[in-house]
Structure 1
Amino acid sequence: MMGSETSGPKGKKPPADMPLNVKDSCYGPVSGAAGLSNGEEASETTPLLPSEPVYAWRPLDQQELRAAAGGPGWRKIRQSLVLLFWISWVSLLAVALTIVVMSPRPVPTCLKWWQKCLFYRLRAEPDVGTEAERSEVINAACKRLPHLRSVGIGAVILEEVFHKKPPVENATTPSENLEALAQIQHLLTECKELDLRVVLDLCNVNLSELQEETGNSNHSAAEKHALRFWLEQGVAGFVICDTDAVYSVETLLEWRGVLDEFSPYHNERILVVKQTTDVLHPLNVSTYGNITLINVVMRAVLPKSRHLLSAAEVAEALETRVQLKREAAWPSWSVEGEASQDLQQILLVLVMTLPGSPAFQSQETTEQTQDERTHRSAVTLFTTLSRSKNREEALLYGNFTFLSFNTSSNASSPLVLAFLRSWGCVHFLVLLNLGPEPHPLDSAWTQSLPEKGMFVASTGMNRLGMTSLYSMTLQPHEAVVIKLFQAGSYA
């Protein structure tokens, strides 16, 4: 037997090129295998794949934050947030504007000049005697015009200017009519300088009689000629009575055509009807289309009487006469009857707070008073009421509601009247105590009204500041105007 060769299984020999020493062959240990360091041999328990490294969380430093913030991802996020903010803000604004626009609220109409002004009834007194006396009356009226304008008067109604008929521009006009024409033209000039409009009263004046002087046999043409003449002089309108012959649809349609010729934009010439009867005869103009024949209807809150009306008579007249109906014509209120001195200021407050345009006579504009203190108080009251009526929508457009007044001392007091002027969220309470006794306000009566309010005016102009309806007492012969405040409101 040769040598000592080791035989394989079943006596087979290994291949000649296979090294016998496995440790030195390529199947030996691999350097760095299984994550082991060089020189370490892999064992059977060593994993073949390395495990994932474990990182400890830590906040980014300043440099890393700057680097991350400048990345494209963060830029897109910031742009999206800014865009979302502006879209949300615009959406909220659009929703708020929609709520404001769609919310129901009263829409005031554009009032004409005669709906916002106060009228002053000036009697020229044509039958005073001589022409010198008549001229003196006209000059005295011209001197009062600055005072009237200062207290808020906007238009003057010239009453009883003519004996029978107005003078016209004609060579055959009598001399007395020419002198009256010159005096009236002088008054018109003075009013124009003070921005006072003049309305000519033609009640009980038969214009058709002008045919005798003009030589025109056509009554209608004569009336139109007279109207055009006075409109050219600068007259802002005319006043007729409901008992005049011209108070008819046919005649007023002709008058309206003449008035429209002299009615520029925002300066329309008007036609006023003075109601002398208990019920105004309506004019049926439905067949003539949408035409306004009468602009203003002047009513009296007190009837004419030969004696001074008592407090009970005044209260009864107010409850029956102050009835507001929906009509095409604008209302105007005046005081025809005479009341005692204690009730005159109450009637002034009433007329100034009723819906419509008030019309005052000379004694109602505080021109003649007994002493200086009373004069100042009366002027202050008139001026305060005129300014409040001019700027407050509730007194211009407001609804009118009579209130049943109850007091703790007398459950039914006819001498105390109350009404409410409302427009939107603004409310004005007007209280009139015509009697000689003080009257506290009953809390049961005022519980439907806001508790607090502020005095706007009073007949004595001695009430100022805030007040509570629960603790208020009306003094004898006193009228107050209170602007009510809702709970939590300061406007």
Structure 2
Amino acid sequence: MRKEAPRKPNASSGGGPEEDLGGSGGGGSPPKFTGLGKEELLRAAAAPPWRKARTCLLLLFWLGWVGMLGAAAAIVAKAPSCRPLPPQHWWQQGALYRAPPKQFGGDLKGVAARLEHVASLGARGLILGPLHPQNASGGGEGSRLPPLEQLEPSLGSLQDFGELLQAAKRKGLQVLVDLTPTFGEGKVWGGLAEDPQFKEHMKGALSAWLQRGVGGFLLDGIEELPLSLVSEWQNLTQAQPSPQGGSRVLLGGSRLQTLRELQQLLETLGGAGGGPLLGRFQEALGDTPGPLLVPQLLSLLEPGVPLVWSVGSPWRHLAGLDHLRAPQTLLLLWTLPGTPALSYGDEIGLQDPPGAPRPGQLSPMPWERLQEEEEEAEPSQALQTPPQLLSLCRQLGALRSAERSLALGAAEPLQAGPGAAAFLRRWEQSESFLVLLNTGGDSLSALPLRDPRLPPTLTLRLSTHRALPPDPRLPLAALQLGPYEGLLLSFPHQP
């Protein structure tokens, strides 16, 4: 509201009539307006229409605020809760790769030149051994103790070893030293466990390699040692953090051959808070029928000991499997809960020489032939050639690193009928995976997979024996498996 100001006489006209200076119809000035005074504004604001408008606006504001608060609370209440990610050591975040340096790279510099190969498999640790001289072995009081703290001169110098550690760090790899005194398939500790001098000798060797910067150790044949002695060495290993980051690990290896023996060892280790155990757990099950395979393997996880799954050793690649069964064994290795471990050559189906090989008789890695075959390989063929097995391992390593369900989820066995093994890997808010294996030599079809957690259509991520089809979406009711074939399928998370 504005009111018209009083018009003043024109000074130049001596108080005569006003002239409209800006208008077109006369000589006078346009009207001028001024704002309301304070008392007039207060009287206007107190009028009933304005009071009602203010009340309505205030009410709308508070109703809107309360509504938004309620909506936010409802969203939070209905949103699915996400499980916190469990803490993992570096050796649980990828695979371990076990290599005798002479056969893998010739010497330490040769090993350093092949670190890219190890990293391409999704590995986080490289287990090297034997590194100590092999021309002397201990056993029994008064005998010469194995020089575990020394480096075999033919492999290089300690400076070469330090450069290897730095090169491994750049590739995201930790280096573990295999301090098993005797290599091969038989007993590895002999009388050393009872030797009164060996305890201090072993502590000195562990300290020496820790000072050189290793990420940990492997002690194979751990069932031959007193548990108290292993616990003492474990505490010594873990006392100092690794200079490459993370904790150090003492990895025990078992050569037990039966499921019952392994379960007893795991229960003993679990009760004593033992560290991770590496073993050929699949081999211990032998020719277990398909429906029992997964439940028996998962029973090994019950004592709570972290497992490192191996399908062989540097002395027995892929546990002597033929080319048809090797791909499925690798698929199972990478998809079970725990840490997968490859012995050098497993990733290409390397064949052992006849007889029981010793460290000096192992087949060397055929690097030049492998490179030639990789360039000539046809991806559409069955995964039976070295480069195709290598491609399978790399795919599995990449999937395990990228997918939380494969890295963190529990394994849930499923019924898939006679001759088949199946299990789920799931993690909240992540892609779920179905692992399906034909454990026999006959083709399988119309599998009775009727679990309510499975959708009618799944996506084929890889097969061990055939290339992916143009459309990887497969109906659950029409899944087929060739002899010894394994499938890895995925589907979206379902609450």
Paired residue for 1:124? 101
Query: Where do 1:371-450 residues align within 5 Å?
Result: 372-373=377-378, 374=385, 377-406=388-417, 412=418, 414=419, 416-424=420-428, 426-442=431-447, 445=450, 449-450=454-455
Shift of 1:198: 0.9
Partner of 2:235: 257
Q: CA deviation at 1:204?
A: 4.0
Give the conservation status (yes or no) of the 8 Å contact 1:304–1:338: no
Deviation at 1:447, TM superposition (A): 6.0
Q: Is the 8 A contact 1:208 1:222 kept in 2?
A: no
Q: CA deviation at 1:452?
A: 1.5
The 8 Å contact of residues 97 and 341 in structure 2, kept in 1 or not, is answered as yes
Give the direction of change, closer, same or farther, for the CA distance of 1:67–1:456 in structure 2 (3 Å limit): farther
Q: 1:242 to 1:376 in 2, by over 3 A?
A: closer
1:115 aligns with 2:126: no
Equivalent residue, structure 2, for 1:35: none
Output aligned runs, 1:135-150, within 5 Å: 136-150=106-120
With a CA cutoff of 8 Å and minimum separation of 6, indicate the structure with the bigger relative contact order. 2
Note the C-alpha offset of 1:187: 3.8
Larger Rg: 1
Alignment of 1:190-339 (within 5 A): 190-204=167-181, 219-243=198-222, 246-249=225-228, 251-263=229-241, 267-277=246-256, 278=258, 279-280=261-262, 281=265, 282-283=267-268, 292-294=273-275, 296-303=276-283, 318=293, 320-321=296-297, 323-336=299-312, 337-339=319-321
1:161 counterpart letter in structure 2: L
In the aligned structure 1, how far is the partner of 2:226 from the partner of 2:153? 29
Q: Distance in 1 between matches of 2:475 and 2:46?
A: 69
Could you tell me how far apart the structure 1 residues matched to 2:238 and 2:452 are?
Answer: 51
Pairwise mapping of residues 163-178 of structure 1 onto structure 2 (< 5 A)?
Answer: 163=134, 164=137, 165-168=146-149, 176=153
Task: Note the C-alpha offset of 1:454.
Answer: 1.3
Q: State the one-letter code of the partner of 1:405.
A: A
Equivalent residue number for residue 158 of structure 1:
128
Partner of residue 42, structure 2: none
Report the alpha carbon displacement of residue 381 of structure 1 after superposing the two structures with TM.
Answer: 2.5
Give the match for residue 462 of structure 1: 468
Q: Assess if the C-alpha contact under 8 Å between 1:204 and 1:244 holds in 2.
A: no
Q: Which residue of 2 aligns with 1:23?
A: none
Question: How many residues in Structure 1 have an aligned counterpart in Structure 2?
Answer: 387
What is the CA–CA distance in structure 1 between the aligned matches of 2:223 and 2:389, rounded to whole Å? 36
Q: Do the aligned partners of residues 298 and 396 (structure 1) sit closer, same or farther apart at CA in structure 2, a change above 3 Å counting?
A: same
For the residues of structure 2 that align with 1:166 and 1:177, how far apart are their CA atoms?
A: 15
Query: SS at the partner of 2:468?
Result: coil
Q: How does the TM-score come out when normalised to structure 1?
A: 0.68
Partner of 2:337: 355
Aligned-partner Cα distance in 2 for 1:152–1:184: 23
d(CA) in 2 for partners of 1:121, 1:148: 10
Structure 2 residue aligned with 1:8: none
Report the CA distance shift for 1:193/1:77 in structure 2 as closer, same or farther (over 3 A).
Answer: closer
Alpha-carbon deviation of 1:397? 1.9
CA contact (8 A) 1:207 1:222 kept: no
CA 1:198–1:93 in structure 2 vs 1: closer, same or farther (change >3 Å)? same
Q: Which residue identity does 2:72 align to in structure 1?
A: L
- CA offset at residue 442 of structure 1? 3.0
Unaligned residue ranges in structure 2 (runs of 5+): 1-44, 138-145, 183-188, 313-318, 349-364, 379-384
**Structure 1 range deviating more: 264-273 or 474-483:** 264-273
Q: TM-score, normalised by structure 2?
A: 0.67
Pairing 1:82–2:61 present:
yes
Q: 1:341 to 1:313 in 2, by over 3 A?
A: farther
Structure-2 change in CA distance of 1:226 and 1:316 (3 Å): farther
- The answer to whether the Cα contact below 8 Å between 1:427 and 1:484 also exists between their aligned partners in 2 is yes
Partner SS for 2:149: coil
SS in 2 for 1:190: helix
TM superposition shift of 1:192 = 3.1
Partner AA of 1:96 in structure 2: I
Which amino acid in structure 1 is aligned with residue 475 of structure 2? S
CA distance in 1, matches of 2:191, 2:322: 41
- Rounded to whole Å, the distance in 1 between the matches of 2:338 and 2:270 is 23
1:453-474: CA deviations, max 9, x gaps? 2122222342453221112222
Deviation at 1:355, TM superposition (A): 0.5
How far residue 98 of structure 1 moved from its aligned partner, in angstroms, is 3.7
The Cα shift of 1:432 comes to 1.4
Distance 1:97 1:233, change over 3 A: same
Pairwise CA RMSD of aligned residues? 3.8
